[in-house]
């Protein structure tokens, strides 16, 4: 599903965020990406999303070589990937429903099947009652779950999360992690970047550890 071959990422200015990173993840696998802040976790996720291109090495996602992917194909790659951000990236000029519907609108669903899928996704994260509200009126935990609903509404093959529990208390964190496990159980490949080692250690999943841009433990 994901494979990094000797990938280095150097930002303009010379900072090397990743150096010679190699690992791979199977379809249907769930793993945590850990390391101190600044270890390169976010950069690695950005490479998978093609928000950046690797300066060296090859990145494969869904059997496609991202280095060779033309800019015009990037949107279609991203439609196969659901992403949850630490700061949710919700839009506050529309309702919860419209936020979750955005990926479907982009993919070109008709109104009826769109509404059905949005409600199914909101139901899964337990926010069906709040679909008409503005996300500003929700608590942090609820906002995070709206972001999660948006990430899975298009039934992606791959679910990425960047510090999804960063702003949540332990109870809410456990709840969100439970949701990720549920998605993984129906076959979605899940990769979660987190430095919440306490939480991770209580879950029986593979751990990929980065240290200052280098792979210190691929967890295989």
Partner 1 sequence: MPANSPQRGSPAAPKQRGRKQGASTQQPELGARGQSYLSHHREMAQVSLKRLLATPMATLMTLAVIAIALSLPSVFYVGLQNVGQLSDHWQGASQVSLFLSDQLSEEEGRDLALQLQSNSQIAELSYLSKDDAMAEFKQFAGFGRALDQLKQNPLPAVILAVPTQDYLSPDSLQALTQLLLSIDGVDDVRIDLAWVQRLQAMVLFGQRAVLLLAALLALGVVLVVGNTIRLEIQNRSDEIRVVKLVGGTDGFVRRPFLYTGLWYGLGAGLLAWLLVQLSVWYLGSIVDRLVVLYQSDFQLQGLGIGAALLLLLFAVILGSGGAWLAVLRHLREIEPR
What's the burial of 71, exposed, middle or buried (CB within 10 Å: 0-12/13-18/19+)?
exposed
What are the strands, taking DSSP E only, across 26-157? 30-34, 56-61, 64-65, 81-84
Count of residues in contact with partner 1, rule CB under 8 A? 52
> Which residue's CB is nearer to partner 1, number 65 or number 129?
65
Binding mask 47-86 for partner 1 (x = CB under 8 A): --xxxxx----x-x--xxx--x--xx-xxxxxxx--x---
Q: Could you tell me the smallest distance in angstroms from the CB atom of residue 127 to partner 1?
A: 18
Angle of CA points 22, 27, 30, to nearest 5°? 75
- As a whole number of angstroms, the distance between CA 171 and CA 164 comes to 13
Nearer to partner 1 by C-beta: 39 or 66?
Answer: 66
Whether 34 contacts 209, CB under 8 Å: yes
At residue 206, the 3 state secondary structure works out as strand
Beta bridge mates, 8:
56
Q: Based on CB atoms, which residue is closest to partner 1, 77 or 128?
A: 77
Which stretch in 89-97, 123-131, 136-144, 163-171 sits in contact with partner 1 by CB under 8 A? Answer: 89-97
Closest CB to partner 1 among residues 39, 104: 104
CB of 212 to partner 1, least distance (A): 23
Characterize the bridge pairing of strands 206-211 and 30-34.
parallel
Per CB under 8 A, 155 contacts partner 1 = yes
Q: Which residues contact 92 (CB under 8 A, 6 or more apart)?
A: 134, 135, 136
- Are residues 219 and 206 in contact, defined by beta-carbon separation less than 8 angstroms? yes
Query: 174-203 mask for partner 1 (x: CB under 8 A)?
Result: -----------xxxx---------------
Q: 3-state DSSP helix/strand/coil percent for the chain, to nearest 5?
A: 40, 25, 35
CB of 123 to partner 1, least distance (A): 16
**What's the min distance (Å) between Cβ of 92 and partner 1?**
8
Q: Taking CB under 8 A as the rule, does residue 108 contact partner 1?
A: yes
Q: Is 27 one of the binding residues for partner 1 (CB under 8 A)?
A: yes
Residues engaged in binding partner 1 (CB under 8 A): 1, 3, 5, 24, 26-29, 49-53, 58, 60, 63-65, 68, 71-72, 74-80, 83, 89-91, 93, 102-103, 105-111, 113, 150, 154-157, 185-188
């Amino acid at each position: 599903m994901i494979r990094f071959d000797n990938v280095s990422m150097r930002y303009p200015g010379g900072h090397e965020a990743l150096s010679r990173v190699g690992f791979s993840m199977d379809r249907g696998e769930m793993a945590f990406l850990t390391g101190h802040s600044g270890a390169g976790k976010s950069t690695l996720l950005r490479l998978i999303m093609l928000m950046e291109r690797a300066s060296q090495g090859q990145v494969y996602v869904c059997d496609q070589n991202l280095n060779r992917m033309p800019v015009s194909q990037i949107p279609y790659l991203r439609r196969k990937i659901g992403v949850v951000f630490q700061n949710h990236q919700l839009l506050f000029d529309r309702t919860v429903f419209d936020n979750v519907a955005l990926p479907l609108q982009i993919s070109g669903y008709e109104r009826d099947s769109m509404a059905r899928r949005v409600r199914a996704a909101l139901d899964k994260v337990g926010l069906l009652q709040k679909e008409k509200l503005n996300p500003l009126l929700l608590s942090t935990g609820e906002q995070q779950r709206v972001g999660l609903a948006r990430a899975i509404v298009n039934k992606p093959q791959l679910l990425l999360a960047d510090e999804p529990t960063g702003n949540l208390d332990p109870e809410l964190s456990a709840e969100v992690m439970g949701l990720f496990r549920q998605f993984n159980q129906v076959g979605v490949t899940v990769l979660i970047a987190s430095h919440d080692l306490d939480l991770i250690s209580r879950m029986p999943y593979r751990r990929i550890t980065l240290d200052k841009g280098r792979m210190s433990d691929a967890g295989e």
